[in-house]
Structure 1
């Protein structure tokens, strides 16, 4: 395995097997997780896990799943361009802008799956902790994933009354407020309600061509209500209703380069409004500058609502039945999205979408004798959704603008309907072979059935000669005499037919995991595991002229090998974890290109036959004396496509073998320090800072220099004054103190390379008060 500084890796693993007994001192807080569907210390689980308590997330200013990428090396976030997140973990991601694309990184809240990444935007409200599990997760959780999963555990209704409120004010006139109330309603019924709002009336972005024009106001609201009923000691039921609304301004990208989309005459077809448009210097250090067409009211209109019911019945002394039923809906109700980075409409759009998902899981777990824990179960789910894009292409070169107005057409509408059904059965066991060895093994059999229909059309408000007229001519060259009308499909098959594209995909797989755990001494765990995971196939929703673009991408599979160690040292004042891993990756799903004779290189989903990932991770937490905590975490990951030939970004045949994955930086690390001390009998003063580094990567698979992401550093700091009884706290904070430019993603939108950046520097203050 070719990894830099291999000797250091083995030294870290060896050091993790040593423990010292020096003198009594404060110990690290133990985090209890449910990664294996039972409560156990995070240090006893043979899986690489990054875990944070809810209090720690609040102190670090984490208000969105996307923020976790700055805390956890190996986890990155990118923007699809549709204001929907794309998560990558250990180099495993799926950079498809399709709204209904399932993620390689699963998201769960209290064991309820959020199968589509956009659902995760409000998941971390009122959280007890978050667990990030790395590597394939296809056994115990509701849907298969190849990258890993993020598991949120919310605060539960309490048996005693408690409540809390918080408020904050920060840069760009941003107000944030949050509150919760919890307690008993009857002798066996308790409830909890939490809400949060984030609002601003000053945009954090300014226009490149109109510096006084701003974008980036926030308008977010999220809620969670829970009822917990325990009619008997052996029966517990929890009903949860949760959701969020986002009516913020969408982020506008920076125009950093002109990329002609016209496949026939290239730059000669560029509109004067584009060729003369100013660009943002790719080497700028300004996160705020961007551009957008002032003719539209750019705003998100996203929503998510979900209801779930979890029941657990201990029907014997050592066995229990768990049922989880959930129904959720997420969507965009005409969100207006600037995408090209230009001040004219070149590839801007309106997004209408909705996804409904219903799932049921049933499982039985128990203990057999003194040595074996076991679990068997099954789950089913049904998803159905719609996605529609109205694309504004008034100045797009593919449609031959004349004096700034398109000769052929100015509007394209693309839609897709889909249905997905999954059925799975699973089993898992942990067998204590001896006092120092334990074997974990599990498997899941999954059936996945999907159907799709959709195409691209020319809407009635399109101007010009007519996109339909152009495709009628193209159809004739393929042998079909068909005068295509507006609102009819212009997505042609090889014979010139323009019927609605209909397709289906039926697949099955067996995911599995086996891990041997060795505990040579207390507080030391060394594990060796092999696991196989899958991600389901699917269909893209892309503006398309050729039905080949709607071909299904089949499921991808990943075989992972991992050697890891978890060690608690120095009288529980040091926690040192490390892991080596190697992934044999088959049929990786990739968003690549096909060369269209009219519209140039167009996106298409394809499978890369063979790839690999290898890397090392380390994290260490130390509390040398009372009040001081330091944490260091790092990952080094190499990704490589070993076999794949397709069309490159420029439309030319390309052999991608030997190239790394896109959106996969090699080196990432974070360092955090927190020090607090009492200044009176009931008040403490605290100082904290965190630093993160993310290495360079690229948005394109063929590593186009225009789409390169430079490495970046982020520094955050906090000063807090708090009561020792945790009743109140006041915090001054600064985020991205050096105002570093960070690249989230760069997409080709129409005739431009459009760059999305991270948040600029922010200062603020927050206050919390708890009622007991």
Structure 2
């Protein structure tokens, strides 16, 4: 028997005469294990619950985000559990197990509140197309970090650190052709509502151990999110400390290629009802299977990560009217971010071999600190403050000549620091709700390198090389933003958003290759970014609507490293139009969501190599293009039985340059690089009362290409990835076997044209082969 505040009392049916029956509370409780939801319920209501249930840990709660009485809230939390609720004469609730004559066929799907909406809206209410992974889904599937989320989301695909870590709706976060200017990104990864820096978002793959959810918001999020949200935003939401004891968890896994993963979570109550902490420690190692035939090293594709997360929750008033959440994350990595391989004579790229005399070394460190304050000012007003600071540093030692000879070694670096502050006032009324907010950020971005030697010219000769290059950019942003949700009449809702954004960019660049070049520049940009949604509820379970949103990315100044030339460039904009459907059928057991979208991309920022410069180093950003993108996302989830959950999502995309000329070549009519036209994910989870469980996910990503200057050479084939788990679990432990890429599919991640470096063809990064292992998790 699990007991939440033990009392001896006589249960009765719900009594309308009980003095507290009409008292209402504001609940914001996510879908989670029922035992945790009941603890949150007692904090809000200060009412006791006695739980007389065998194996309470197997039950899940529904999410609630509303103002309700305690009785109403408890009934909604347990709506899908089949448990019986009674109440004592003193007001204590008693939760007991009803034993049905037959096992229920299935249960209703959980209600999902989207953190990225900033309005407490559910996935079925907002127009934005959201790829969502909840806590139980992350735990049950083979999902370890944010890259696994990208591989399982419609119209999203994973990339590489040097070319943009991911693409959303056919657009890479580094833009059409990434450059060494690392202050701009077209999407952001946010950890507990604090945006990571641009380089950190490419190199660091945040773990999802002890995460409550991961959300991929597709389409422009600029009116609420601001800069670096032209194509979307990714939210990673970690569990916060609670006040209900010393729960914890440990997970250990081992597998092929000397794969080892160990993770520990411990919750601590430091002061009853006022101060709690949560600590997560994690380490991950793997050798990979890339071999360097020159140096003999067999773990070139190594993964070596250590992560520490510490969270503190303080309730100074002893309840959730005023909450402070402080969190700190540190990641230390010695992972090889770019384990390039190429086709050896009479071989292919999938032999996973390289002959460089320098394998590549990319040690990095990342720190993120956030402070979130939530104050329930009144019944209708809530104030939120989110303060964030993060810094990232990576040293880069890599092969510059792409040969087995000691011709050119390059030592580079990227450092960034980002401070942000957001204030939001949220009003919740019967027909009118909304928020108004202020945002400020100050970012410092540094990058550069030193290299000496000779560089192949691609024609059998060499280019002398002796350079020191450094670039510094400061970006300061201020914004006023708001969103208004209005229900003019029953079943209709109008949402209007806007952001007034000001951005100042200052650049200072230094170059020394025998003579010194020192340049500075500054640019300012002002934008008014609107959004509009009109939605109609056909029924309680079906919503349709249309939306318009504008995305923007500020301009700036780009710097050609070897040539020492600075080039200013203007803003770019996306006008995005969508139709959406949100539908739940079969008494809430089947969810069908769809979005159709079209957007125009104007004043498009693209990267070109300047005349006389070296590709990849003397690149300038220019406004040289106009494009269009259209497509759709379809998502389905079905709770087929009480034991079986099935899901599927499909993404279709068509990208096309309308106006784009580079190096004298007209690319009008061509598709974008790193823009697969079709993605699909199918899978399910089966778990029965005997403890047996299995989960499988099949992901398909269509073919594409990597570089606009060599589309035929840099082709990328499709990906067919099957992953799964098979195991046995009891109340507090589970043991299982796991597997990634079970079909052992060979696929490229990013491909370069090797002819610029004297190579015969392409070189680049390839995906990991089939990997099998075993795991064990124990919870307390």
8 A contact 2:197–2:416 mirrored in 1 = no
Distance change (3 Å), C-alpha of 1:129 and 1:280: farther
Distance 1:379 1:740, change over 3 A: same
Distance 1:711 1:763 in 2: 22
* 2:562 paired with 1:544: yes
Which position in structure 2 is the counterpart of 1:690? 697
Distance 1:315 1:29, change over 3 A: closer
Q: Which runs of no fewer than 5 residues in structure 1 stay unpaired?
A: 1-22, 257-277, 459-467, 469-483, 489-498, 648-652
**1:357 corresponding residue in structure 2:** 418
Pairwise CA distance, 1:57: 2.4
Counterparts in 2 of 1:63 and 1:413: CA distance versus 1, 3 Å: farther
Partner residue, 2:774: 765
**CA distance, structure 2, for counterparts of residue 601 and residue 177 of structure 1:** 39
Of residues 610, 631, 640, the one that matches 1:615 is: 631
Determine the structure 2 residue equivalent to 1:61.
Answer: 142
Structure 2 equivalent of residue 195 of structure 1:
281
Q: Distance in 2 between matches of 1:616 and 1:58?
A: 28
1:459-509 Cα deviation digits (max 9, x unpaired)? xxxxxxxxx4xxxxxxxxxxxxxxx3xxx3xxxxxxxxxx31222221111
Residues 398 and 409, structure 2, Cα contact 8 Å, conserved in 1: yes
**Which whole-Å CA distance do the structure 2 matches of 1:441 and 1:580 have between them?**
20
Query: Taking structure 1 as reference, are residues 65 and 338 closer, same or farther at Cα in structure 2, changes over 3 Å only?
Result: farther
Query: Within 5 A, what are the aligned runs for 1:20-39?
Result: 25-39=106-120
Tell me, yes or no, if structure 1 residue 113 matches structure 2 residue 195.
Answer: yes
Contact 1:646 1:656 in 2 (8 A): yes
- Distance in 1 (CA, whole Å) between partners of 2:422 and 2:537 is 33
| Cα distance, 1:73 vs structure 2 | 1.9
Other-structure match for 1:240: 327
- Aligned residue pairs total 664
Kept in 2: contact 1:345–1:394 (CA 8 A)? no
Aligned counterparts of 1:340 and 1:669: Cα–Cα separation in 2: 39
Match status 1:503 vs 2:510: no
**Contact 1:741–1:760 (8 Å) recurs in 2:** yes
Unaligned runs of 5+ in 2: 1-103
Residues 387, 541 of structure 1: alpha-carbon distance in 2 compared, 3 angstrom cutoff: farther
2:707 matches 1:700: yes
Structure-1 separation of matches of 2:495 and 2:288: 51
CA deviation vs aligned residue, 1:275-317 (integer Å, no higher than 9, x gap): xxx45755x5x3x6131533x4732210111211111222222
CA–CA distance in 1 between the matches of 2:746 and 2:479? Answer: 44
- CA-based RMSD of the aligned residues comes to 2.5
Q: Which gives a bigger RCO, structure 1 or 2 (Cα 8 Å, sep 6+)?
A: 1
Q: How does 1:196-345 map to 2 (within 5 A)?
A: 196-200=282-286, 202-207=287-292, 213-232=298-317, 233=319, 234-256=321-343, 278-279=344-345, 281=347, 286=350, 289-294=352-357, 296=358, 298-332=360-394, 334-338=395-399, 342-344=403-405
Q: Is the 8 A contact 1:416 1:454 kept in 2?
A: yes
**What is the Cα deviation at residue 108 of structure 1?**
1.0
Q: Flag the 1:379–1:598 CA change in 2: closer, same or farther, 3 A.
A: closer
* Corresponding residue for residue 527 of structure 1: 545
3-state SS of paired residue (1:216) = coil
Residue 658 of structure 1 is aligned with which of 653, 666, 669?
Answer: 669
* Pair 1:63–1:129, CA change in 2 (3 A): same
Aligned to 1:714: 721
**Closer, same or farther: CA 48–600 of 1 in aligned 2, 3 Å:** closer
Q: Does 1:78 align with 2:83?
A: no
Q: Runs of at least 4 residues of structure 1 off by over 6 A?
A: 597-601
Query: What is the aligned counterpart of 2:748 among 743, 748, 755?
Result: 743
Cα distance, 1:515 vs structure 2: 0.4
The 5 A counterparts of 1:124-163 are 124-161=208-245, 162-163=247-248
Scaled by the length of structure 1, the TM-score of the pair is 0.81
CA deviation digits over 1:90-130, x for unaligned, max 9? Answer: 11221424262332112111211114152452253421001
Query: In structure 2, what is the equivalent of residue 414 of structure 1?
Result: 469
For residues 438 and 71 of structure 1, do their structure 2 counterparts lie closer, same or farther at Cα, with a shift above 3 Å needed?
Answer: same
Q: Deviations over 1:694-737 (max 9, x none)?
A: 111111225521111112211112202111x3x11112011111
How far the C-alpha of 1:759 sits from its partner, in A, is 1.3
Summarize the Cα distance change of 1:393–1:672 in structure 2 as closer, same or farther, 3 Å threshold: farther
Superposition deviation, residue 443 in structure 1: 0.1
Give the 3 Å change call, closer, same or farther, for CA 632–199 of structure 1 in structure 2.
same
For the Cα contact (< 8 Å) 1:344–1:395, is it kept in 2?
Answer: no
SS of 1:30 mapped into structure 2: coil
* 1:118 counterpart SS class: helix
Q: Is the 8 A contact 1:414 1:541 kept in 2?
A: no
Take 2:692 and 2:650, find their aligned partners in 1: how far apart are those partners?
A: 29
Measure, in 1, the Cα distance between the counterparts of 2:218 and 2:401: 34
CA distance in 2, matches of 1:127, 1:219: 21
Q: Contact 1:744 / 1:758 at 8 angstroms: preserved in 2?
A: yes
Contact 2:216 2:234 in 1 (8 A): yes
Aligned residue among 175, 180, 185 for 2:270: 185
Matched, 1:630 2:709: no
Change (3 A) 1:60 1:85: farther
- Residue 434 of structure 1, aligned match among 489, 492, 499: 489
Q: Name the SS for the 2:229 alignment partner.
A: coil
Q: How does 1:405-484 map to 2 (within 5 A)?
A: 406=462, 409-458=464-513, 468=514, 484=515
CA-CA distance at 1:374 after TM superposition: 1.5
Aligned-pair distance for 1:323? 1.4
CA distance in 1, matches of 2:268, 2:154: 38
Relative to structure 1, the CA distance from residue 602 to residue 307 in structure 2 (aligned partners, 3 Å threshold; closer, same or farther) is closer
Residues 119-152 of structure 1, C-alpha deviations (whole Å, 9 max, x = no match): 4522534210011111100122253511001011
1:630-669 per-position Cα deviation (integer Å, ceiling 9, x unaligned): 111111100111112221xxxxx11121111111111111
